[in-house]
Structure formats: C-alpha cells, structure tokens
Amino acid sequence: MRVFNTLSNGIEPFLPVEPGRIVLYVCGLTPYDSAHIGHARTYVSFDVIKRHLLKKGFAVYHIQNITDVEDKILKRCGEIHADPKQLTEKIHSEAMQQFAALNILPADVYPKVTDNIPEIISMVQAIIDAGKAYETKTGIYFDISSFRDYGKLSSQNLDQIRAGSRFEVDESKKNPADFALWKKTSGELLEFESPWGKGRPGWHIECSAISMKYAKRTLDIHGGARDLVFPHHENEIAQAEAATKEKYCKYWMHTGFLTVKGEKMSKSLGNFVTLKNALENSSSNALRLFFLQAHYRSPLDYDLEKINSMEESVERIFNSFDLISESLSKKDVPNQEFREKSNYHIESFYKNMDDDFRTPEALADLFNLLRLANSHIIQDAVDVQQLRAVKSAIGDILWIFGLEKQKKSIDSRKQQILKLIRDLGEPVPESAEEAVKLLIGLRQSARESKNYQKADLIRSRLSEIGIILEDKPDGVRWKIQ
C-alpha cells in the first residue's frame, strides 16, 4: 500500500507502527452549529479508507474527538442564552444520527474535551517544563521559535508564517504567531481550575492530549480537512513532540476543499448546505457515490443535479447485483475468458485502492465488473463458480464504498400496498415485500385469465404508490420509483 503523506508532500509506502494494527485519529466536530456537507465529505472519505484497511485485515482503532470547549461555542451560547453542555450534546447527537444515515462506521471512542481537562493540563505543564512555553497575564503560550521543526507540515518557515498569517492581537505574547495552550478566564460559561488559575484549553492542545491519551503511542494516520493543516495540525505536532520528544504521527492525510457553486460555504453567501438538508434531497448512497467520484485529496464542488444523477447509477449497481444472484441457479459451464476478465477487474480495484485510495478508478473497476457480469448472465449457461466469486467480490467492494441496498423505502409504502390488497379482497401478508410479490402473482393470474382490466388496475395502482413493474423475459421485476 501507498499513501500521500502531507508531512513529506509525497506518496510513501504505508508501514504501520505495529504490524496488523492501525491507530487512526480524525479531528471531530466543534458542535456549535449543524453538521454540513463539508463534514460529510471528510468523514465519508476516512470511512472508505477505514473500511478498506479493515477489509485488508488490519485492526483499526479509530479515535474522533468532540471539541465541546471553544470560542465559537461560547459565542453561540451567549447569543441564544444556551447551556454549553446541552447545546453541544444536542448538536453532536443530531450529527451522529446523520452520519449513521450516511452509513459511516462509528469511531471506537468519541472523547470530549471537558472529560479530559487533567490530561490537557498535564501536557501543558510538560511543554512548560521542556522550556517551550511561557506564561503571561492572559494565558500559557507555545513559543514557536523554540521548536526547530515548526512549519514542517505546512512547508513554511517562521518568516513565512509571520508574514502570511493573521494572529489574535495580544501584546503580552513574545511573538504574534505564538499560540495559546491555556487561556486564562474570569467568570466565563466554561472555565476550569488549573495551576495557572481558572481558564480553558486552547483549541490545538486538546487534539494532542486526547489522541495521545487514547493511542498510547505514535499515531499511524491523522486525518482531517485540508484547511486544518495550518495552524491546527502544525500546532498539534509542535505540542505533542515538545511534550514527549517522540514522533507524534507517521502519516498525515487531508481531504480536499468542498465548495458550493465554486465558492467556500458561507451563510452570508446563501450557499451553506447542512447535512440534514442534503440527506432530505438525496439518498445516502447517491451522496457517497458523488463523493467517491473525486479522489479524497481533490477539490469537489457540491452539485445537487449531479448527485441526483447518481441515483440511477446506484439503482443499476443493485439491480445488477440482484441479477447476478438470480443467475446462480442457471446451468453451470466454466468460462475461462469470463474468469480472466473478471479477476482482472477485481485485482485492478484493489490495486487502485492500495495506491492512495484512488476511488474514481476503483469505481470504474466496479462498473466494468458489473458490465462484464451482465453480459455473461444473459446466456442460458453461466460459470456458476466464478459468478459466485464475482458476487462475493462485488459485495466486498460495495461494503468498502459504504453502499448499501436500502429497503426502508418499500416499508414506508407498506400501508398503501396493503390497502390495495384489501381492496382486491385478498388476505394481507405481514411484510411489504411479500405484499408486492402477491400483487405480481395476482396480476399474472389476471393476465392469464384475460382479465386485463384487473391486471392494468394492479399495475396502475402500484405505479401511483411508487412501485414500478417491469416485464422481463425471465419474469416480472419491481423497483421503487
């Protein structure tokens, strides 16, 4: 396997710290406002990366923090007169439900900043003891001039950092670019006791302290969006390595920017798209497929029209998968050409995923495999043994991509379907799927007895419900509109 490491600005062989085990840390939410599609793009990307690693046999320990102490949270609470704990728990809980709807595997732990204040204070003290931080009347600050490698992640030197960045004005600091490890406070909504008086952590220190507490060693992968490279991730490295004198993380991986109509999302521009809104307009499969069509490091522009066009692609994928399953009962005749070509596409998929998770090319491999299988199963006799292997491989690929056949839509139409059966005077089955099969059978019986009026009625009523019947040479199929 090879991955792009932001730290070296190049592709590197992927060699975990421990054979067979990976510690993955992904920066979590600051829950002061609703999760948005930018969050979704990043978390879907790392979900696919994690799924691929799991499928390859790695044990993946996934840590994702919750920043429940931060300036934006306090500002929002002041505006709406909310309790910080209640606000952050409510927003994070809603986000987790939306991520679950997007079929994102949960992290192993979601540690909160407020639950890890002692560890944060301990790390700040270790940095002071190492001679790389100092105290002022406003807080404890990291002295970036004392850390020789500062700027190595963002490929900047100290002069570039001083010239190219804006910093909070604080005349008590030695250098405008020095950043807060601990902010002294007096009477704020959130403040904690410390050796330096009441205060709260700076934004950057929490990730260093929390990740090291749970990882207990060097991280294999630290993930996040590209806009976190500087200053957040740069500062994480400085803090952690100053405190421990050990390498903090081997591989830094960042997702590309997500824009809306070519511009950064902003409420003032009217292009802010929440994840809740995105899931109301599109299926989770279509959203994931849209994200996967761009490499995780590439920029991506949110386009609802393109996402909606993904719905047809999703339908083709699962229709083909079902047809392959049905064809396993056909006459078995080995086919060497089918075996060679299908194995080639399967191997190509894993080669592309092993090469820095090239999902656009891996998606092409999936569609090539499906097309090949579709052309094979139209024959009267098929290579059943290889077809089983192809079905298994496609199932694995769909799992890695996080694409899952959705059955809830048929359940949402259950009452309408059952009403149609009652109107026809038939006994009502338990499930919606059994009801549709019964109606298909009733329609077929009506056609055979030349009762075309009843047959057309069943088809028409099902269409009104959103169930489309398709007459095929090998039988009747149904799909949800």
Q: Check residue 21 and give its pLDDT.
A: 98
**pLDDT of 388 over the 70 cut:** yes
Residue that has been written with the tokens 């950043």 in this structure: 179
Question: What pLDDT band is residue 83 in, cutting at 50, 70 and 90?
Answer: very high
Mean pLDDT along residues 268-293: 91
Mean pLDDT along residues 192-221: 97
The torsion angles phi and psi of 220, rounded to 5 degrees, stand at -80, -50
Interval 217-258: pLDDT, tens? 999 999 999 999 999 999 999 999 999 999 999 999 999 999
**pLDDT of 412 over the 80 cut:** no
Mean pLDDT along residues 204-215: 97
Cβ neighbourhood burial of 383 (10 Å; 0-12, 13-18, 19+)? buried
What's the CATH architecture for 2-281? 3-Layer(aba) Sandwich (3.40)
Cβ neighbourhood burial of 405 (10 Å; 0-12, 13-18, 19+)? exposed
- Tell me the CA distances in angstroms from 46 to 18, 245, 249, 404, one per residue in order: 20, 28, 16, 17
The Cα angle at residue 417 between residues 413 and 419, in degrees rounded to 5: 120
The rounded percent of the chain whose pLDDT value lies above 70 is 97
Q: Check residue 162 and give its pLDDT.
A: 67
Tokens coding 14: 């992927």
**pLDDT of 373 over the 60 cut:** yes
Neighbours of 95 (CB within 10 A): 24
Q: Which CATH class is domain 311-401?
A: mainly alpha
Per the CB < 8 A criterion, the answer to whether 274 and 95 are in contact is: no
Cβ neighbourhood burial of 52 (10 Å; 0-12, 13-18, 19+)? buried
Mean pLDDT along residues 409-438: 85
Between the two ends of the chain, the Cα-to-Cα distance in Å is: 41
Q: Check residue 169 and give its pLDDT.
A: 66
User: What gap in Å lies between CA 413 and CA 431, rounded to an integer?
Assistant: 11
Tokens coding 102: 């997007």
What is the number of alpha carbons within 13 Å of residue 97 lying toward its C-beta? 8
Q: Locate the DSSP E strands across 124-270.
A: 133-135, 139-142, 179-184, 199-201, 219-225, 249-255, 258-260, 263-264
Our CA dihedral for 456, 459, 463, 469, rounded to 10 degrees, sits at -140
| DSSP output for 164-203 | H------TTSSSTT-EEEEEE-SS-SS-B--TTSSEEE-H
Distance of CA 194 to the CA centre of its chain: 36
**pLDDT of 408 over the 60 cut:** no
* Strand 179-184 with 139-142, pairing: antiparallel
User: What gap in Å lies between CA 38 and CA 45, rounded to an integer?
Assistant: 11
Domain spans, the chain: 2-281, 311-401, 408-480
The torsion angles phi and psi of 170, rounded to 5 degrees, stand at -155, 105
**pLDDT of 152 over the 90 cut:** yes
Which residue from 35, 28, 25, 55 is spatially nearest to 211, judged by alpha carbons?
25
- Mean pLDDT over each residue of the chain, to the nearest integer: 93
Q: Check residue 433 and give its pLDDT.
A: 85
Mean pLDDT along residues 160-176: 72
**pLDDT of 164 over the 60 cut:** no
